[in-house]
Amino acid sequence: MLERFNLQKREASLVGKAPNRWDWALLPLVLVILVALAFGAMQMSRPFAVGESLSISLDPAYLPYYLLRTILRMFSALAVSLLFSLVFAAIAAKYRAAEKAMIPLLDILQSVPILGFQAIAIAPFIALFPGNILGVECAAIFAIFTSQAWNMAFSLYQSIRTVPPELNEASRIFRLSGWQRFWRLELPFAIPGLLWNMMMSMSGGWFFLVAAEAISVAGQDIKLPGIGSYIAVAIEAKDGHAIAWAIGAMLAGILLYDQLFFRPLLAWADKFRFEESQGESAQQSWLLNWVRRSRWMHRLTGRFWALMRRALSGFSVNSNGRSMGHRSAASFKAWSRLWDIVLMLATLGAVYRLVVFVHSDVGWGEAGHVVGLGFITLLRVLLLIGLASLVWVPIAVWIGLRPQYSQRVQAVAQFLAAFPVNLMFPLVVFVLVTLQLNPNIWLSPLMVFGTQWYILFNVVAGASAIPHELRLAADNLGLKGWLKWKRVYLPAVFPSYITGAITASGGSWNASIVAEYVTWGKTTLMADGLGSYIKQMTETGDFHRIALGIGVMCVFVMFLNRFFWRKLYLLAENHSR
């Protein structure tokens, strides 16, 4: 009653039309953001011709400008990734026939290195915007998109498939249409986990930023103004001071968008947690508090949600209360068998083309050698994911159960996840060369350095969604120690852990291209593995062997996900029902 009275009192105070002090406090911030967006957008669409030199200065005074350009690219890619995830996950989760093709496709997409996507996308985007740098910008945004979208789609798909049965039953009682069910039940239920994966996606964009902003096309090297290009030039020049400035700029950028974007969203999304009470400590955001007290923002958001409710109400169920999915069983089975046949024929066609390619272009001996390298990288991936799970699952559960601590470590975790492994090359090369260590062993941790955070972020999201009532019930029953972890915590976070482990595994395969082949100046360290092979073939320009390496990597990732992670995924899904 007291909370409702306070809410009504606050809303009554926002009825007036005149701006209050919170409006005046927000006005400078809004104006600065709008001016920065407008300036950055103008710079991203100026005239440009392939072959024109874009110089990157290592003067720290240029870092704020480079940071602005990089953050604009990353948020543009994040917006496209969110749209992709909403469409992809909804279709894959609701239609069994589509799921059979879309989930393996997602496995393949997350295993294709960013260099492979970039090589395909550069020429079409430049041709789409001739004489304008916007084409190169779109190619960079697409490359960042490929490092952000897959884990977001997996997270949303997993959340839709694990909606609690009582909520599904309630949606059927209220006769919600498929459209209404998605927007009023499935997406709100998935929002906490999706937001944590959006943060991880932003960090993943930083991790592959050098490859995204330093582009090679038509024999020309194009370095777009940004932090990634700044880092690439600093590595080429072996300038340690410039790398230190780049790290500082990254930290400033992460803290900035954490406070202005992710922290308010997490505090707002706290109301979507699946429990009756809010818990001991909810997420807090000073910016969200300002927005809620602002009269102008109150009216603006009120109109926005009114339009959303009007749009949702326009999609109602059919007059007989049945959805389009209720077809006759015979018709459904016939179409399902036909679709299975189509998928089987497509698979046989792909296998045939692979056999012809290997036989005519690279040879069976080379293919066997690459498969052997794939097993070496597979061993590294499984070992590193296992070690990362042992370390981060307990820590993530502890953080997720204590929102007051998760807010403190949120920005730190984002920074660590965003830290490009390239910046560790000077230290790695120095240590391995000085101590004469084996690269096959000591380069391996670089593979999981940027991907282990998928496990941390997803398990934190899963632990934070554990209902407070369930935790109180466990305490009342006297559950302690390992028994409490076995009966409450681990089953509750298991679906989120599987999502994190799948994306971490796929990301580790991708990161092997960077981690197994380390260069600093004229010193190069190589470890045996599939990533090192792809990197070497990329430098020599051997397209057929690049395609062979990427193809073998896709096959390994797809089989690993299908016969290992997929089994655990189904176990988590059945457990949640």
DSSP 90-109: HHHHH-HHHHHHHHHHHHHH
Are 298 and 394 part of one and the same domain? no
State how many domains the chain has: 2
- Tell which wins on pLDDT, 472 or 9: 472
Question: The tokens of 230 are what?
Answer: 């700044």
Which range among 12-26, 47-61, 353-367 shows the weakest confidence by mean pLDDT? 12-26
Are 540 and 433 part of one and the same domain? yes
Please state, rounded to an integer, the average pLDDT across all residues of the chain. 79
- Tell which wins on pLDDT, 312 or 526: 526
**Mean pLDDT of all residues in 2-7:** 46
Are 531 and 444 part of one and the same domain? yes
Please report, as a single letter, which amino acid is at residue 333.
K
Residue with tokens 């609701």: 94
Residues in the chain: 577
**Nearest Cα to 230, choosing from 248, 256, 254?**
248
Which range among 308-312, 412-416, 533-537 shows the weakest confidence by mean pLDDT? 308-312
Percent of the chain with pLDDT over 70: 84
Are 40 and 102 part of one and the same domain? yes
Are 229 and 286 part of one and the same domain? yes
**Mean pLDDT of all residues in 278-299:** 74
H-only helix segments in 401-488? 403-418, 425-435, 439-442, 445-449, 452-464, 468-476, 481-484
- Is residue 385, in this structure, part of any structural domain at all? yes
What pLDDT is attached to residue 433? Answer: 78
**Mean pLDDT of all residues in 449-458:** 82
HEC string of 3-49 equals HHHHHHHHHHHCCCCCCCHHHHHHHHHHHHHHHHHHHHHHHCCCECC
Are 291 and 392 part of one and the same domain? no
Are 231 and 86 part of one and the same domain? yes
Can you tell me the distance from the alpha carbon of 231 to that of 522, in angstroms, rounded to the nearest whole number?
17
Are 65 and 156 part of one and the same domain? yes
pLDDT bucket at 320, cuts 50 / 70 / 90: very low
What pLDDT is attached to residue 208? Answer: 74
Residue with tokens 């543009």: 76
Say whether pLDDT at 465 is over 80. no
Are 245 and 121 part of one and the same domain? yes
User: Across the chain, how many H-helices and E-strands are there?
Assistant: 29, 4
Are 309 and 436 part of one and the same domain? no
Can you tell me the distance from the alpha carbon of 249 to that of 397, in angstroms, rounded to the nearest whole number?
30
Can you tell me the distance from the alpha carbon of 388 to that of 384, in angstroms, rounded to the nearest whole number?
6
What pLDDT is attached to residue 10? Answer: 54
Say whether pLDDT at 327 is over 50. no
**Mean pLDDT of all residues in 209-219:** 72
- Is residue 470, in this structure, part of any structural domain at all? yes
Are 372 and 302 part of one and the same domain? no
Say whether pLDDT at 326 is over 50. no
- Is residue 328, in this structure, part of any structural domain at all? no
Are 257 and 382 part of one and the same domain? no
Domain boundary among 284, 299, 314: 314
User: The domain spanning residue 195 has which CATH number?
Assistant: 1.10.3720.10
What pLDDT is attached to residue 13? Answer: 53
Sign of CA dihedral 19, 20, 25, 29: negative
CB 408 within 8 A of CB 460: no
Q: Which H/E stretch holds residue 518?
A: strand 517-520
- Is residue 458, in this structure, part of any structural domain at all? yes
Which range among 53-62, 252-261, 350-359, 443-452 shows the weakest confidence by mean pLDDT? 350-359
For residue range 64-89, what is the model confidence (pLDDT) as tens digits?
A: 999 999 999 999 999 999 999 999 99
CB 154 within 8 A of CB 502: yes
Can you tell me the distance from the alpha carbon of 275 to that of 464, in angstroms, rounded to the nearest whole number?
11
- Is residue 161, in this structure, part of any structural domain at all? yes
Range of the domain at 551: 363-401+420-577
Residue with tokens 């400008």: 65
Say whether pLDDT at 125 is over 80. yes
- Tell which wins on pLDDT, 574 or 26: 26
CB 43 within 8 A of CB 132: no
- pTM for the complete prediction? 0.77
- Is residue 36, in this structure, part of any structural domain at all? yes
Can you tell me the distance from the alpha carbon of 533 to that of 538, in angstroms, rounded to the nearest whole number?
9
What pLDDT is attached to residue 79? Answer: 94
- Is residue 414, in this structure, part of any structural domain at all? no
Phi-psi region of 315 (alpha: psi -120 to 50; beta: other; left: phi over 0): beta
Question: The tokens of 486 are what?
Answer: 């076995």
- Is residue 335, in this structure, part of any structural domain at all? no
**Nearest Cα to 158, choosing from 122, 137, 121, 186?**
186
Can you tell me the distance from the alpha carbon of 545 to that of 547, in angstroms, rounded to the nearest whole number?
5
Can you tell me the distance from the alpha carbon of 196 to that of 203, in angstroms, rounded to the nearest whole number?
11
Say whether pLDDT at 516 is over 60. yes
pLDDT bucket at 61, cuts 50 / 70 / 90: very high
